Amino acid sequence: MNVAQAIERRRSVKAFDPAHQMEEAEITQLLGLAKLSPTAFNIQNWRFVVLRDPALRAQVRAASFGQAQVTDASLLVVLTADLKAWEKAPQRYWHDAAQPVQDAMLPMLDGYYRGREQVQRDEAMRSCGIAAQTLMLAAQEMGYESCPMDGFDFDAVGKLINLPADHVISMFVAIGKPLQPAHPRSGPLALEELVVIDRF
């Protein structure tokens, strides 16, 4: 399956086979691909919280308005981001880069993020969104379906996963084998309505 096919076939599936289990190698492959997603300044600020404990997933389901995919999907990833990744040993983000690049990036990074909390949060959401799409397309290529989710109580889930104070939750991605085919696309807008050339 090529990238275009994965994009065309990816649908948000709600009903997963709760008996299906993914192999550890598949999970490692998926997360390894997700961590290749781009981030500004290469800060790699996402943190992928993989929920394995059935009791915890049941609690998260309760905080997700009872949505079955939380417990029934083979893999549930809570995409979070470290809002302060930019200042935590940032030299490690370019350890393989030439020294002049490292010397230039560190002050740029600090100047861009320090004291700009909204920028830090916006960057976190962008980074997690890109990583979520990478996860879903990789899952599609591997023969799995997925569902991005934001229908949950963010504060409650944060408490359940012991979310650090300097982290934020972006979304869930549920991945697994579907119990039934996804519904057809229900109302795609015409490209002409979505594309703006130069100015509105």
pLDDT of residue 182: 83
Q: Which residues contact 97 (CB under 8 A, 6 or more apart)?
A: 105
pLDDT in tens, 34-78: 999 999 999 999 999 999 999 999 999 999 999 999 999 999 999
User: Which pLDDT does position 74 carry in this prediction?
Assistant: 98
Query: According to the model, what pLDDT value does residue 39 have?
Result: 97
Indicate the domain borders of the chain. Answer: 3-194
pTM score above 0.85: yes
Beta carbons within 8 Å of 44's beta carbon, 6+ residues apart: 35, 85, 93
CATH fold, domain 3-194, is: NADH Oxidase (3.40.109)
Phi, psi of 171 (to 5 degrees): -170, 175
pLDDT grade, residue 164 (50/70/90)?
very high
pLDDT tens-digit series, residues 132-142: 999 999 999 99
Nearest CA to 38 out of 130, 104, 113 is that of: 130
